[in-house]
Amino acid sequence: MTSEDLEHFAENELSLLETLDHVLTLGLVVAGEITISVANIELIFIGLNLLVGSTETVYEVLGKRLQNLDQSDLSTQSPSR
């Protein structure tokens, strides 16, 4: 990333990224009670290194959900032939 790349982000965009970085990855956590879902993935997946932490958090949540979905699909699938 270069300073030119950074300049492509308006101040309010950087402000939003910083807000996401703080709000989604830091702060007090009540174990087992974080219940978020991702309806608007493009909000998070901006592809900027600044958001590595947030993206990881989202993928962690998404991954678990997809895994649960897969298992649920498998368990409800009837043998096909």
Single residue of 8, 12, 35, 76 touching another protein by CB under 8 A: 35
Neighbours of 12 (CB within 10 A): 8
Kindly state whether residue 49 participates in binding another protein, applying the rule CB under 8 A.
yes
Collapsing DSSP to helix, strand or coil, 20 comes out as helix
Single residue of 16, 45, 46, 59 touching another protein by CB under 8 A: 16
Inter-residue contact 54 to 24 (CB < 8 Å): yes
Kindly state whether residue 23 participates in binding another protein, applying the rule CB under 8 A.
yes
Report the distance separating Cα 23 and Cα 1, nearest Å: 24
> Which residues of the chain form contacts with another protein (CB under 8 A)?
1-3, 6, 14-16, 18-30, 33-40, 43-44, 49-50, 52-53, 58
